[in-house]
Structure 1
């Protein structure tokens, strides 16, 4: 069973139930913070992915940068393309964001992806309000097909370490 198949099965077992839905396949785990779950797709607060392998050391900043580059190259089917915007060698993090945020009225919304030296990834959708100059978390939707493809791409890009 793949991680994409495992998360699909977990979502099928919890139709229309909010909360955390998670699945694991070997060292790979995926946790969805679900607001709503339908046969067509999910509405998420955020998504967490991790490669949990106690035999592997922490990721180096070069490995994280390469993972970020692979994600930006492979995950091209979200609303906006992703680009690496920050590499924090001291903090052991790499950040990707939407290349061009989507404007809607006063808001500009974008994806933010954070990779950590512990082998974790978090995807959030944020909205920046031009009037208040503040940003806030925004729920985002993924079809089941896109979610399963994303799960496969997360696994594939992480294991080219």
Structure 2
């Protein structure tokens, strides 16, 4: 089975539940690649979560150029979220790549929201997706729920796997 189908199967018994604190659901493909999602709630049509992570042990210690390749592939494929994504920073010493929303959601100008993705090869390779809200008055950012339909979630998981670069 694919990670997206395994995740859908793991989420099915949780429909209608709310989790405080978030509940982590994890699935693995058997080759060491694993997906974890920190759930706030699960509904029939989708989920609300704090973070979605994909761990790829084969990318542990990979150079920043490998992560750049992954970032480019991800940004080219993930076009169905609220905002488009683009690489923002590259850290060769990390090695890490920071990806953010190209144009944050500014429907509330005092509190724009944006996606943030961190790709890293520290430890094992990891993709981590979160959504933030920036409070302009306080000058701080706050973690905000990441809401995804079941279709978006499945597509996202499949796109993560399809764009994995060779280590």
Shared fold by TM > 0.5?
yes
Unaligned runs of 5+ in 1: none
Kindly state the Cα deviation for residue 154 of structure 1 after the two structures are TM-superposed: 0.4
Kindly state the Cα deviation for residue 14 of structure 1 after the two structures are TM-superposed: 2.2
Moved more, 8-17 or 108-117: 8-17
Match of 1:132 among 138, 144, 165: 138
| Mapping of residues 29-108 of structure 1, within 5 Å | 29-53=34-58, 58-105=61-108, 106-108=110-112
Aligned Cα RMSD in Å? 1.4
Q: Which whole-Å CA distance do the structure 1 matches of 2:83 and 2:120 have between them?
A: 22
Q: Which whole-Å CA distance do the structure 1 matches of 2:152 and 2:4 have between them?
A: 10
- Aligned 8 A contact 2:132 2:142 in 1: yes
- Number of aligned residue pairs: 159
Unaligned runs of 5+ in 2: none
CA 1:33–1:81: 2 relative to 1, 3 Å = same
Residue deviations 1:40-79 (CA, integer Å, cap 9, x gap): 00001111111134xx652111000110011000111110
Residue deviations 1:113-149 (CA, integer Å, cap 9, x gap): 0001131010010111111111111111000011001
The aligned counterpart of 2:33 is 28
TM-score normalised by the chain length of structure 1: 0.93
